[in-house]
């Protein structure tokens, strides 16, 4: 970390600062290399997913510049990810990149994939030691970013924004969000009031092994906490939308709940041993089927053939139920075996089922203190006194 350049003119080795990067992706990038701390060249990357926000982009960049430029020695970039905008947002982004190529990078997706995919595309191409996603609608206040960075400098791995005084409609946005956040906090065990706030700050290492899909960007703080990261929450300023319309509705809450099921399954530990879950359930069903088969045999032998009360096996509904349970049990075991093979392929190709707690485990690897060391410009923010949102 001692060799990290922090001045604006030395952001890249062997050439001038990078201008706009234009990447037309046919699908969200799944082949980009995973980050390494050695690959970070600057201090801060601000990630802005964009979808039809033409009128908000220039004012947002001006606010970002006003918030970050006064931080002495801080090397920063803004990565705009255009998620298939159709209102001329790409032209505005191109103009911003031409005006300030030292700080603006543009990633263009081929079509609209959604906020999570756009954030993931930005994360894969950001170069900062600290990563801060923020909405493009200007409801998040860029003036809060230095406060988030100060919490990171004080030792936090993830700082989650809390829109305590949220400026959105009550019935369609705030009430469903409040209910969903209460449920998410209870089920994940992470006491955060506002999982849906895009404005967050992450140390780069927190997101090194995270692949975002669906609506799962909002669960990153929970994922980080489960893996031993220090997560703190900070109240941030929230503003009413001044231009454009919201892309979210009440139906998004149900999508979030479905993604929560995936997250809870991954956190349960069965993701690394799925046969224990599906195989156990399958064996239980087969055992129940055998028990019901024994009941049918007992019913058949209870009365002799010719007795009006005699029960024929093929006419007994319990027989059909036992056969159904047996088939379902066998299918569950087969599904568990298939899932086990997929899990083994995942781990064989580099996916780990654990994270090291710390220490110099292999010769030459940095200690946790060395790995967590921030660039001087960010570390200096630890001395800033805590402040309330504007």
For the chain, the average pLDDT equals 78
pLDDT (0 to 100) of residue 302: 79
Q: Which tens digits make up the pLDDT trace of 236-269? A: 988 888 876 766 656 666 777 777 777 777 677 7
HEC string of the chain? CCCCCCCHHHCCCCCCCCCCCCCCECCCCCCCCCCCHHHCCEEEEEEEEECCCHHHHHHHHHHHHHHHCCCCCCCEEEEEEECCCCCCHHHHHHHHHHHCCCCEEEEEECCCCCHHHHHHHHHHHCCEEEEEECCCCCCECHHHHHHHHHHHHCCCCEEEEECCCCCCCHHHHHHHHHHHHHHHHHHHCCCCCCCCCCCEEEEHHHHCCCCCCCCHHHHHHHHHHHCCCCEEEEECCECCCCCCCCCCCCCHHHHHHHHHHHHHHHHHCCCCCHHHHHHHHHHHHHHHHHHHHHHHHHHHHHCCCCCCCCCCHHHCHHHHHHHHHHHHHHHHHHHHHHHHHHHHHHHHCCCCCCCCCCCCCCCCCCCHHHHHCCCHHHHHHHHCCCCCCC
pLDDT digits (tens, 9 = 90+) for 293-311: 998 888 888 777 777 777 7
User: Quick one: pLDDT at residue 220?
Assistant: 85
Low-confidence residues of the chain, pLDDT below 50?
Answer: 1-39, 353-367
Direct distance between the N- and C-terminal alpha carbons of the chain, in angstroms, rounded to an integer = 33
Predicted confidence at residue 252, as pLDDT, reads 65
Query: pTM above the 0.75 mark?
Result: no
Predicted confidence at residue 363, as pLDDT, reads 41
């Amino acid at each position: 970390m001692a060799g990290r350049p922090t001045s604006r003119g030395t952001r890249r080795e062997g050439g001038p600062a990078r201008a706009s990067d234009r990447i037309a992706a046919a699908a969200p990038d799944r082949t980009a290399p995973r980050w390494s701390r050695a690959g970070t060249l600057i201090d801060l990357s601000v990630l802005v997913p964009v979808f039809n926000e033409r009128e908000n982009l220039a004012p947002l960049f001006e606010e970002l510049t006003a918030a970050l430029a006064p931080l002495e020695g801080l090397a920063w970039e803004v990565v705009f990810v255009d998620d298939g905008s159709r209102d001329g947002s790409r032209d505005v982004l191109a103009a911003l990149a031409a005006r300030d190529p030292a700080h603006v990078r543009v990633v263009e997706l081929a079509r609209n994939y959604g906020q999570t995919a756009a954030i993931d595309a930005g994360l894969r191409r950001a170069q900062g030691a600290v990563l801060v996603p923020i909405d493009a609608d200007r409801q998040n206040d860029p003036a809060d970013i230095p406060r988030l960075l100060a919490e990171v400098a004080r030792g936090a791995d993830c700082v989650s924004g809390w829109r305590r005084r949220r400026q959105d409609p009550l019935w369609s946005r705030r009430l469903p969000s409040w209910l969903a956040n209460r449920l998410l906090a209870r089920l994940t065990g992470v006491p955060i009031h506002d999982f849906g706030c895009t404005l967050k700050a992450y140390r780069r290492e927190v997101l090194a092994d995270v692949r975002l899909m669906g609506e799962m960007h909002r669960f990153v703080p929970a994922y980080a906490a489960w893996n031993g990261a220090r997560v703190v929450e900070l109240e941030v300023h929230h503003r009413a939308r001044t231009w454009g319309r919201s892309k979210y509705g009440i139906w998004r809450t149900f999508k979030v709940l479905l993604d929560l099921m995936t997250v809870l399954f991954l956190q349960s530990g069965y993701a690394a041993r799925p046969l224990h879950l599906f195989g156990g359930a399958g064996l239980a069903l087969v055992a129940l089927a055998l028990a019901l088969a024994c009941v049918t045999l007992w019913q058949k032998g209870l009365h002799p053939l010719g007795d009006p009360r005699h029960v024929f096996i093929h006419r007994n509904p319990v027989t059909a139920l036992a056969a159904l349970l047996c088939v379902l049990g066998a299918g569950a075991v087969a599904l568990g075996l298939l899932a086990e093979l997929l899990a083994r392929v995942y781990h064989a190709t580099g996916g780990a089922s654990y994270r090291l707690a710390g220490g110099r485990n292999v010769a030459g690897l940095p200690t946790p203190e060395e790995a967590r060391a921030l660039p001087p410009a960010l570390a200096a923010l630890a001395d800033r006194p805590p402040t309330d949102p504007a």
